């Protein structure tokens, strides 16, 4: 079950980049370039939406009016985007029913983190998240928090092993930098001289029979981070 997001922004480049980034992170994304198009899309998908992202400045209306309209019809979570640093805009948006507010320019990674936080608070991620991730004969069970090898034998995982592997299988093919992986598994970034993540990945590779000089599951991308190279099937 994919989480469905509706975004309205009058900037084509921003819409295109956000759509590509969120779809890569397993979201279904619908776009609108102005208020009229947004309301048409909202009417079409209202019952299926898990989140709405509203740009404040639009050519035919503003995000505040759209926020008010959405909130009268639905309790779907709302994130508002603005180029203004004025606190008044943020307060007005929140008072109209927005769940979060981001000032431009912003990083897609931070927006994604806020989307995930809202989904966690609203229970959407818990309902939508798949239980099983299967790759090269292995099966990761996110309910039991166990890993079974191709022979059905349980592979012993530490808590950090599990968190790291779960994040990898959730983002197959993505280059994940060290800072992001540390934030996701430890709740903090690390300095450039801290090798704890590299040690943890080496241990995880051994548990996946992926050691040696040329790992085929968790690959190192020099100067960029790591990538989980296997095809992953979710259910």
Q: How far apart are CA 22 and CA 7, in angstroms?
A: 11
Q: How far apart are CA 67 and CA 92, in angstroms?
A: 10
Helix, strand, coil fractions of the chain, as percent rounded to 5: 45, 25, 35
* pLDDT tens-place string over residues 99-127: 888 888 888 888 998 898 888 776 666 55
Res 189 pLDDT > 70 = no
Provide the whole-model pTM.
0.55
Enter the tokens of residue 40.
């048409």
Q: What is the mean pLDDT of residues 223-228?
A: 92
Highest averaged pLDDT of the listed ranges 10-14, 99-103, 155-159, 161-165:
10-14
Q: What is the mean pLDDT of residues 198-206?
A: 91
Confidence of residue 61 (pLDDT cuts 50, 70, 90): very high
Res 149 pLDDT > 90 = yes
- What confidence score (pLDDT) does residue 46 get? 87
Q: Which comes out higher in pLDDT, residue 17 or 192?
A: 17
The strand ranges marked E within 111-217 are 132-135, 138-141, 146-148, 154-155, 175-176
Of 81-90, 135-144, 151-160, 194-203, minimum mean pLDDT range: 81-90
Res 227 pLDDT > 50 = yes
- What confidence score (pLDDT) does residue 75 get? 81
Strand pairing category for 146-148 and 138-141: antiparallel
- What confidence score (pLDDT) does residue 127 get? 53
Q: How far apart are CA 131 and CA 7, in angstroms?
A: 28
Res 128 pLDDT > 70 = no
* pLDDT tens-place string over residues 74-103: 888 899 998 876 677 778 888 888 888 888
Q: How far apart are CA 57 and CA 35, in angstroms?
A: 10
Query: Of the candidates 43, 89, 85, which has an alpha carbon nearest to the alpha carbon of residue 64?
Result: 89
Res 1 pLDDT > 50 = no
Q: Whole-number mean pLDDT of the chain?
A: 87
- What confidence score (pLDDT) does residue 31 get? 95
Of 61-65, 138-142, 181-185, minimum mean pLDDT range: 181-185
Q: What is the mean pLDDT of residues 196-217?
A: 89
């Amino acid at each position: 079950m994919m989480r469905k997001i509706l975004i309205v922004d009058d900037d084509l480049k921003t819409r295109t980049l956000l759509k590509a980034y969120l779809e890569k992170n397993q979201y279904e994304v619908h776009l609108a370039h102005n208020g009229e198009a947004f309301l048409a899309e909202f009417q079409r998908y209202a019952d299926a939406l898990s989140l709405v992202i509203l740009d404040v400045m639009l050519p035919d209306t503003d995000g505040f009016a759209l926020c008010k309209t959405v909130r009268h019809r639905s309790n779907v979570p709302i994130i508002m985007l603005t180029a203004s640093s004025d606190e008044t805009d943020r307060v007005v948006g929140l008072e109209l029913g927005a769940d979060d507010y981001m000032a431009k320019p912003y990083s897609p990674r931070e927006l994604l983190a806020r989307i995930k936080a809202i989904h966690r608070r609203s229970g959407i991620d818990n309902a939508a998240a798949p239980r099983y991730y299967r790759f090269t004969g292995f099966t990761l069970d996110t309910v039991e928090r166990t890993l079974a090898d191709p022979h059905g034998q349980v592979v012993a995982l530490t808590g950090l092993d599990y968190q790291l592997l779960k994040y990898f299988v959730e983002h197959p093919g993505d280059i994940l930098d060290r800072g992001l992986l540390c934030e996701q598994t430890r709740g903090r970034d690390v300095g450039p001289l801290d090798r704890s993540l590299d040690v943890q990945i080496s241990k995880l590779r051994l548990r996946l029979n992926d050691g040696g000089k040329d790992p085929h599951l968790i690959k190192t991308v020099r100067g960029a981070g790591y990538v989980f190279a296997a095809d992953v099937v979710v259910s």
